[in-house]
Amino acid sequence: MITFTMDGQQMQVAEGRTILEAARERGIPIPTICYHEALAPFAACRMCLVELANRRGGQLAPACAYPCEEGLIVLTNSEKVRRSRRMTIELLMASSAHVPLIRAMADELGVAAPRFTMAEDDCILCGLCVRACDEIVGVRAISLVNRGIAKEVSPPFRIASNACIECGTCVLICPTGAITLADVTGGGHSVHPWQSEFDAIDCRLCGHHPEAWRFADPAAALTEEVAP
């Protein structure tokens, strides 16, 4: 077991537990965007940064990926942490201030408007869709491509390497509603906002062709039973 301190509380956790897992077990709130319990930590959004008070003069570290260490002193809501979160949300607001999740987080952090502006985009590049497609579905039909401000999610194309089974996992896991899966005519489908049409392949696990359970309304997929 590891013994450490979080916000003045001494805690014991099994080796390998992250700071975020320990915090959630104790009901200590740490905001997250790119974290999902079903996926490996990605540490992309930096929203979950906490202060490690006795490491390198108060180093900031992503709680979702940083493992608890013996003797560690963690501060989840210090001024340094709040300043960092405000900057993170401001950067996200530059292109996605219209997204309800970002708006709500900004309100929570007291950030009214960003100092920077970019072209409006529903996607905040959290990578959840790409990782879910890889780690949960196992088909890697989409990926994050390019670097810096050119970074984007790359869709399946109408080429032989198309791997999408049209399961809709990316639609369901996206926290901003940036992806919708819509029926189009002729047996193809369109994944927005990329506008690419493609024919989904059969699922390699169940062999099912997705035409039997395609859906036009992603929200309905949460309540509709998927055909076996």
Q: Which residues bind ligand SF4 (CB under 6 A)?
A: 123-129, 153, 174, 176, 178-179
Q: Which does 174 bind (CB under 5 to 8 A by kind): ligand SF4, ligand FES, none?
A: ligand SF4
Omega within 30 of 0 (cis) for the link into 218: no
- In the complex with ligand FES, the residue whose CB is nearer, 30 or 165, is 30
3-class SS at 12?
A: strand
Based on the shown chain and the rule CB under 6 A, indicate whether residue 61 belongs to the binding site for ligand FES. no
Nearest distance in Å: CB 118, ligand SF4: 14
Do 32 and 45 meet the contact criterion of CB atoms below 8 Å apart? Answer: yes
Backbone angles phi, psi at 80, to 5 degrees: -60, -40
- Contacting residue, 24, 46, 55, 80, with ligand FES by CB under 6 A: 46
Nearer to ligand FES, 32 or 169 (CB): 32
In the chain, the amino acid numbered 85 is R
* CA–CA distance, 13 with 125 (Å, rounded to integer): 32
Query: 192 contacts which partner out of ligand FES, ligand SF4, none, CB within 5 to 8 A by kind?
Result: none
Residue 30 beta carbon to ligand SF4: minimum distance, rounded to whole angstroms:
19
What residues contact residue 49 under an 8 Å CB cut-off, 6+ apart? 60, 61, 62, 63, 81, 84, 85, 88
The angle subtended at Cα 120 by Cα 80 and Cα 81, nearest 5°, is: 5
Q: Which residues pair with 181 in a beta bridge?
A: 191
**H/E stretch holding 49:** strand 49-52
Among 35, 95, 179, 215, binds ligand FES (CB under 6 A): 35
**Residue 165 partner contact from ligand FES, ligand SF4, none using kind-dependent CB cut-offs of 5 to 8 Å:** none
**CA 99, CA 142: separation in Å to the nearest integer?**
22
Regarding 34 and contact with ligand FES (CB under 6 A), the answer is yes
47 is an interface residue for ligand FES by CB under 6 A? yes
Task: Report the residue number, 30 or 153, with the smaller CB distance to ligand SF4.
Answer: 153
Binding partner at 89 among ligand FES, ligand SF4, none, C-beta below 5 to 8 Å by kind: none
Nearer to ligand FES, 49 or 139 (CB): 49
At residue 115, the 3 state secondary structure works out as coil
Binding site for ligand FES (CB under 6 A): 32-35, 43-48, 62, 64
